[in-house]
Amino acid sequence: MSTEKRAAARRGNMERKIIHLDMDCFYAAIEVRDRPELRSEPVAVGGLSTRGVLTTCNYAARAFGIHSAMPTFMALRKCPHLIIVPIRFDVYRFESKRIRSIMQEYTNLVEPLSLDEAYLDVSDSKRSVTTIAQEIRRRIRKTTGLVASAGVAPNKMLAKIASDWKKPNGLFRIASDEIDLFMTDLPVSKIWGIGKKTAEKLLAKEITTCGQLQTFSSLELTHMFGKFGGNLYELCRGIDNRSVTPNRIRKSISVERTFSSNLGSLDQCIDKTREIYQELQEDLFNLKSDRPLAKLFIKVKFSDFSRTTVERAGLEISEPSALELLKEAFKRKNLPIRLIGLGVRFAISPNAQSHQLEFAFQAKVH
């Protein structure tokens, strides 16, 4: 694709001013803020038992190779003096709402991705987008005592990449006339939608940068990656026409438990699944949604850390149905079980499918 064609492809969005705001180590930062004596210590948030899982950690902990979703026992091996604090979702939600209210003073086009990050479209503002991003970051710091990084760009993909460019406590802008040069050496792993398997497939072909990926035609990429190949052809050139969508559609809701001791029998699993089902029912009630439920699913993690998921459409959302799925999952491996997750998927109308976002309740570690 020539420079002229790339410019034409972007022309419709040239005036868009997108900010991606990302709180730095959000949960851990809140815990350190509330306990200043931890400021210079490696801190993680998550399960306190050795069978728990970390939700996040601060940069001092990351220096030891610790990261989110890491089992607690593994993190303690890497950093024996790691300080682990319990999850306080009520506090994190409260701070998230305060941050969200600041964003919404600048635009109605705020698209939350999670409690700690969101896109903002400030295209209608006559002010500099960089100035707005700086001001929002300053206000968040003053109001909450927490630090945010921001990325500024003409589209969502580039704004998200930019917010990570100068972390922590950074601001980075990618201007329209800088996109071609910026994309040339950008690692393909930074592209929105590229997961571990796609990255491995690209590496096998010795493709590590977007510039290298740009040498392939749309037809060649479609042949290699199916429908996503067509998207990849545009994304590796910095083209992303997705709009900032304030009202995202929740696709599912689930509850998980990681157990302090493995469950060795089906009866033990049944007892725990009944408890989890009751928690799921409470969460559905509190959600106050009248949307129809399409599927019930159960996720099981075995003692060897392998996982299996069983889900079924048309099944009554009930405790007996949950136990039926559990029994099917339990039979797939003759191993003790360390985690059970239970959830439902909502029915999505066809015209809303392009705006889906899957939510899941954070693991409730016991």
Residue keyed to tokens 């571990």? 196
**DSSP element (H, E) containing 364:** strand 364-365
* 150 DSSP β-pair partners: 21, 171
Question: Amino acid identity, residue 221?
Answer: L
Beta strands in 191-321 (DSSP E): 249-250, 252-263, 293-302, 307-313
* Residue 220 known to be catalytic: no
Residue keyed to tokens 């438990």? 257
Q: Which two three-digit tokens encode residue 216?
A: 């392939």
Q: Which residues of 345-364 are buried (b: 16+ CB within 10 A; e: fewer)?
A: bbebeeeeeeeeeeeeebbe
Residues 6 or more apart whose CB falls under 8 angstroms from that of 117 comprise: 20, 21, 22, 23, 163
57 contacts 44 by C-beta, under 8 angstroms: yes
Question: Amino acid identity, residue 119?
Answer: Y
**Catalytic residue (choose from 31, 111, 117, 234):** 117
Burial of 121: CB neighbours in 10 Å, binned 0-12, 13-18, 19+: buried
CA-to-CA separations, 344 to 8, 113, 253, 327, 362, in angstroms, rounded: 43, 20, 6, 17, 15
Q: Which DSSP category does 248 fall into?
A: P
Q: Which residues of 181-219 are buried (b: 16+ CB within 10 A; e: fewer)?
A: ebbeebebebbeebeeebbeebeeeebebbbbbbebeee
Catalytic residues: 117
